[in-house]
Amino acid sequence: MKKSTKRILALSFFCLLIGLAFCIASFFLGLNQRILTNVVQEARLQMDEKLGWFRNIGTDVSKSQDSGKEFSKTYANITELDLELGDTECTLIPWEEAEWKVEGSQLPPNFRCEQDATKLAIRCRKSTWNFWKFGNESSVLEIYVPERELLEEIRIDHGAGELLGEGGSISCKKLDVECGVGSCSLRMDIREELRIDCGVGEVAVALQGEYTDFDYNLQCGVGEITVDGESFGSIGAEKKVSHDAEKEIRIDCGVGSVSVEFE
């Protein structure tokens, strides 16, 4: 089970315990509706006074994040991509140039894009969350990848935004995708292994080749996995398919959906 799913279940359980605690307290204290209403109203007034400064902080943080920052830089000799995304609209774009190019707007203050030897690491997650204001403008990120290069590995940790592969396919030996509650759509040429870990989001991958070019290890919770038009959606389903192939697809789907098609 993904970490995000575990956190949601833990929060639900915590809220349930709070509700039971109030019920038990009301029973033993013999509170009637009028007294309970007065207590709640008084607590609300005190909470508003105590948290007024905190609400202002949330608004200030939201304003600072809305301002965002711009980014544009090129890189050379990259064979690995490590991509960590939050609420981001990200596009992977194959192009004919030999260099990589990364461009972005409305990026959070803690945005990082760094080259370490032949690995390009990109982190685009907001470090804070605003509890009172929703609808903040998402970060926009465009990554231009040389389409003629065969990459060693691509690792993607995708949060609540949208990841889109535009144009032609990207070639790599290994692709590892972890999707939380967002959506991910890619066109790839996988030479060794594809791994997908999907929580409550949606992942769609179009692959070069045929169904029999891969062996399969599929695990599904309450979501749905579709491979080459065939659905494997059943609670707790697990299926392995062997074609004695040199390439493998491993999928672990929680309550979301994963689709793999072939071109």
pLDDT at 172 over 80: yes
pLDDT at 208 over 60: yes
pLDDT class for 232, splitting at 50, 70, 90?
Answer: confident
- Residue 68 in 3-state DSSP? coil
C-alpha span between 220 and 218 (Å, rounded): 7
C-alpha span between 121 and 181 (Å, rounded): 22
C-alpha span between 85 and 74 (Å, rounded): 19
Cα-only R_g, the chain: 23
Is the pTM higher than 0.75? The answer reads: no
pLDDT in tens, 74-127: 999 999 999 999 999 999 999 999 999 999 999 999 999 999 999 999 999 876
Could you give the dihedral angle defined by the CA atoms of residues 127, 143, 141 and 163, in that order, rounded to the nearest 10 degrees?
-90
Q: Determine contact, residues 223/258, Cβ cutoff 8 Å.
A: yes
